[in-house]
């Protein structure tokens, strides 16, 4: 598979997670202006080479990604992947359980921070 095909394969996975983004123009945020090739690298490697592998359902890949981002304290990325998880059909209740369980393995402050981030994505608008 050549790099254009890897990119297309990666974009296809990303479109399952974030259908709205995939349709948009993309690339306008400051980091993408600074290093546009980084984001095509991520699409080709992370999404085109790993997320698209067989042997693990994409729903499970999404769930474990949310869990890792919560454990690592990566709040920005976590919010994006929680949106992706909802788009793949994972329930809000399941995601809250993952955030809560983070307290055991990464500590209560990490779980608190994950729930703060999750509240921005998962709380129903009133």
Binding site for its own copies (CB under 8 A): 1-3, 6, 30-31, 33-35, 37-38, 41-42, 44-46, 49-51, 53, 55-56, 60-61, 63-74, 76-77, 91, 93-94, 96-113, 115-116, 118-120, 122-123
Q: How far apart are CA 83 and CA 55, in angstroms?
A: 23
88 closest CA partner among 8, 19, 10: 19
Nearer to its own copies, 19 or 59 (CB): 59
Nearer to its own copies, 22 or 119 (CB): 119
85 closest CA partner among 110, 114, 64, 70: 64
């Amino acid at each position: 598979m050549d790099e254009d095909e890897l990119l297309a394969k990666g974009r296809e996975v990303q479109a399952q997670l974030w259908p709205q983004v995939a349709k948009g123009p993309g690339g306008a945020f400051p980091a993408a202006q600074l290093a546009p090739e980084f984001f095509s690298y991520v699409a080709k490697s992370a999404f085109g080479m790993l997320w698209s592998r067989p042997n693990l359902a994409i729903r499970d890949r999404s769930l474990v990604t949310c869990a890792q981002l919560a454990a690592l304290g990566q709040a920005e990325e976590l919010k994006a992947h929680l949106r992706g998880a909802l788009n793949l059909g994972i329930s809000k209740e399941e995601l809250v359980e993952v955030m809560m369980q983070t307290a055991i393995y990464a500590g209560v402050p990490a779980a608190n921070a994950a729930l703060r981030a999750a509240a921005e994505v998962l709380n129903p608008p009133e």
